[in-house]
């Protein structure tokens, strides 16, 4: 299970700091605060993992994708192309899950 996420230079987030994730996570905030960016990154990671194109570090999408966020210029914070988009994931392997 994912337990932690951190975004750097992704959309509205210069640096999100550690975001704690739980079995039930609720995101709230003002409009344009970056709430939608969090599940978007997770979907981008999923479609990147499922993509046959191993030349792309992050599959930003196209007309056949679950999510199309445009170009790197569209997703990098402040449209600053000199900055890398970074993310960190934390997870736990819980073997005691109930069915």
Q: What pTM was computed for the model? A: 0.84
pLDDT tens for 4-50 read: 999 999 999 999 999 999 999 999 999 999 999 999 999 999 999 99
Burial of 44 (0-12, 13-18, 19+ CB in 10 A): buried
Mean pLDDT of the chain: 92
């Amino acid at each position: 299970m994912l337990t932690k996420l951190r975004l750097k230079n992704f959309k509205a987030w210069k640096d999100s700091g550690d975001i704690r994730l739980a079995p039930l996570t609720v995101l709230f905030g003002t409009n344009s605060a970056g709430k939608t960016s969090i599940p978007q990154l997770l979907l981008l990671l999923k479609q990147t993992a499922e993509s046959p194109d191993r030349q792309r570090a992050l599959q930003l999408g196209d007309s056949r994708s679950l999510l199309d966020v445009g170009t790197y210029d569209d997703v990098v914070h402040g449209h600053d192309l000199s900055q890398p988009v970074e993310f960190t994931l934390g997870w736990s392997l819980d073997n005691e899950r109930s069915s």
